[in-house]
Structure 1
Amino acid sequence: QSLFGEKNLIEVVFPRATIGKNGPAAVEAIIEHADEDKMVVVSLFDYDWTATKKDWFNHLMKAAVCIRTDPIDRNALPRWIMERAKEKNGQTLTPDAANLIAERTEGNLLATSQEIQKLALLVNKPEIDVSDVLDAVSDVSRFDQESLFLAMLEGDAGQVSKIIDSLQGENVQIPSFLWMLTDVVRNLLLLNRGLAARTFGLSEAHRSALNRAARRANPKLLELMLHRLSDVDRMSKGLFVESSDGDAWQELKAVCLMLSLKRK
């Protein structure tokens, strides 16, 4: 319940394609008990055409306002970015600029939308190219988030823990910066394997810390970190992860501390 609101917001998440033996009865109960004092949001992930034939699904659709959000294919994401920037900001993005945003946000639409909003605030011109995007990404890095990446790379466990607690306390949404954190770990893995990392837009301190961390980190550790960051992403979106207790912030902290506590 909101501090000043009169209604209760109830969020119900079905993370799988099937809702189990007791699921239909639960849906019927949700519909039956919803009233003017309750706003109920039901999220159905990964359902297919077979679910649409079920009674519970049809009852839910009749009782609710349905908003369908299909995933956007990676190849279609740059065009989506260009259309959204034009619609929201009245700005035209070059194809290369849209591709760069798509690459950095890796399909995370929340992060992508935020980047488009930042461009509107920071770039006062009708057409935006790659250099504009690079400058904006560099300029808008949150202090706490950039500090988190550097503390993780330097192996400062105390600072890592403190910054993550601060981000959680400020109610920062994990998906808004998780893609950047994942990019840090991928760069570490590339450098560890003797390959070139994607370091454009990064500060000199960040690049130096990357190189130092890559020399000491075990590649198996980095691969494990990427796997667990994928779990963090799922948990932050309300999806079930069997190997975790469901606390996305604690899992995020555990992953970031892995570089602090492990060495070759």
Structure 2
Amino acid sequence: MKIRFEQLPGQLQKGLAPVYIIAGDEPLQIEEACDTIRGAAKDNGFTDRVVHHVEPGFSWQEILAEANSLSLFATRQLIEIRVAFDKIGDGKKVLEEYAKNLPPDTILLIITSRISKKHEKTKWFAAMEKHGCFVQVWPVEPHQMPGWVAHRLKKAGLRAEQEAITLLADLLEGNLLAAAQEIERLKLLAGSEIITVDTVQNVVSDSARYDVFGLADAVLSGDIRHSLRIYNGLVSEGTEPTIILWALTRELRLANHMASGLRHGMTIDAVIEQVAGPHRQVPFMLKKRKGHYLNFIHRHGERAIREMINHGARIDRMLKGAAPHGNPSDELQGLAMHMAGLPTPVSLASNI
């Protein structure tokens, strides 16, 4: 049975399933889903908890051995398996066997990465889901963040002005873990008072998740202000220039490949299917961002994209000490801002 993250508490109140699969890439919601299951299991007498982190050399037979040895101790147990979906390997057969002979007084909790529609149809997964609950955890999109913050504040017993909610969502930029922490701080400091914009400004630190992937999304979407903010955040946090450059040039190569396919009359979905493999990308994830790629390609055009790729190659040589002139930091910022939509400064353009 497939359920949404917010449906999990209600399902647990109806009774515990023998199998739970929690999948996704959002750490806070993944852990909260697992904690909810652990709490319900403990309340129902599942006092033993065994945790396995699947790494190279892991023996999946241990799972069957533990499940079948329960009768020796006459207790209830929760077995947790943390494994990336593409690293299950030999575990597929073990999990199929487990599903055929579900051990009594045992709950199996599988915590894994995002699962595609295609993989939901695999034999082992279908066998697991048939006997349990599958919770796919999705990241909170930027436009959903104010609603998420408002719900979280209400859950914490706090009242807030809409402007304060909007500001809080903007400051935290999708970092749910930071958002949860800041809301707990507001709970302690604001008390019963209505949270205002001033409260947020005075209490909440700028906990935005300044990561290179966020920068890539910002420059693709053409948000210059946001791109500069993230770029400066990355620099202030000491992020290596080579990592920033890698993220930007990866998007440029993808956009260049897509632009070529579009020029030859392919649809954007067909182009994505074609480019995903060579660039080691998941088509589903690229399709979620196809609007950004289309806007970026239409905004710049193939020629400008290729020029930016050449600019990135020059910055790479500068970082490696192979280019004698220029400041790599200035050039890297210039490339990011050019991608976001600012005209290339003459001093940079002349050196491309």
TM-score normalised according to structure 1 size: 0.46
Q: Which has the larger radius of gyration?
A: 2
